[in-house]
Amino acid sequence: MRIKLKKGYQKKLILFAKKKSNLTWKELSKIVEMAENYLKIELKSEKRTLSEDLYEKLCNLANMDFNKHILKKLDDNWGRSKGGLTYDKPKLLIDKPSEELAELVGIILGDGNIWSQKGYHYLRICGDSEKDKDYLLNYVKPLFERLFNQKINNYLHKTQKEMFLSKGSRDVVFTLEHFGLKSGDKKENNVKIPKWIFRSKKYIRACIRGLIDTDGSLCPITGRDYPYIWFSSNIDGIREGFDMAMKKLGFKTSKWNIRENRTPDIYIGNKKDIEKYIQTISFKNQRHLSKLRPDSSEAKFYSGVKSK
């Protein structure tokens, strides 16, 4: 059973529960057994209804009765056509691996996640609402929609400079799990680059492009006339996979810089390897491409390397 409240009251209930219990979002999400981001973004913005169990938990935490604000009670399967809710047999939407799928996997491992909890199934990819806007809307969104033949939603965080692509669909999550992604917290699950990606250098290059376009950067180095390519990750499995990928593609990298209170990072610093990266892998994120174009405002960071 799902609970549909009058407009605005689902948000009020969640905020009352958080305030009355004096909990952080992370603590509240653990108590109600719900993914933190799903609770504070998807459910608080009323994009999804509440399960009866979650509704009761929130009412208890808020110490308030919201029954008079209930519009209707819905069967668990009411939203099959809308996506995001449970139905009997999930469908595999992609039947074989591809370079585009490998790149999307890299993007999700970098700045995305999938969740499958208590009838909720969704994919979310996030980025900076200014620096990553073009990349998310004009590259990642069409990439997803070509692969899955489905639309994906996009929205801006009201108070922070964040943009999200979000899709509630059991079929989408089931398909991504089929191709090696894990549902839930990426760090706790120690997620890895799926094994199938290492079967082809084309897949490896595409996946690495997705990773670096999201969790990578180009930064100038004192004494150098070109930027180094950096990548960072606090997940052991991803770092191990990145090392394996670089080795298979023939790139020389630094050792991982692991420091207290800093996300471990690594860089490609050899100019020939940077040229090779640009020619064989390239960038699709404008925030990186802008540092390679001679007519850009950041051209001073770059000299002699041509973008593919």
Which amino acid, residue 238? I
Burial degree of 2 (CB within 10 A; 0-12, 13-18, 19+): buried
Mean pLDDT by 10 residues, the chain (308 residues): 89 90 84 82 86 85 86 66 54 95 98 84 91 95 97 81 89 96 93 97 98 93 85 96 97 93 93 94 90 55 50
Structure tokens at 233: 């990750």
Block residue for tokens 């094994």: 195
Beta bridge partners of 265: 232, 257
Could you write out the three-class secondary structure of the chain?
Answer: CEEEECCCHHHHHHHHHHHHHCCCHHHHHHHCCCCHHHHHHHHCCCCCCEEHHHHHHHHHHHCCCCHHHEEEEECCCCCHHHCCCCCCCCCCCCCCCCHHHHHHHHHHHHHEEEEEECCEEEEEEEEECCCCHHHHHHHHHHHHHHHHCCCCEEEECCCCCEEEEEEECHHHHHHHHHCCCCCCCCCCCCCCCCHHHHHCHHHHHHHHHHHHHHHEEEEECCCCCCEEEEEECCCHHHHHHHHHHHHHHCCCCCCCECCCCCCCEEEECCHHHHHHHHHHCCCCCHHHHCCCCCCCCCHHHCCCCCCC
C-alpha to C-alpha distance for 128 and 162, rounded to whole angstroms: 5
The domains located in the chain, with CATH, are: 2-74 (1.10.260.40), 99-187 (3.10.28.10), 196-301 (3.10.28.10)
pLDDT value for 88: 56
The pTM of the full predicted model, rounded to 2 decimals, is 0.75
Which amino acid, residue 29? S
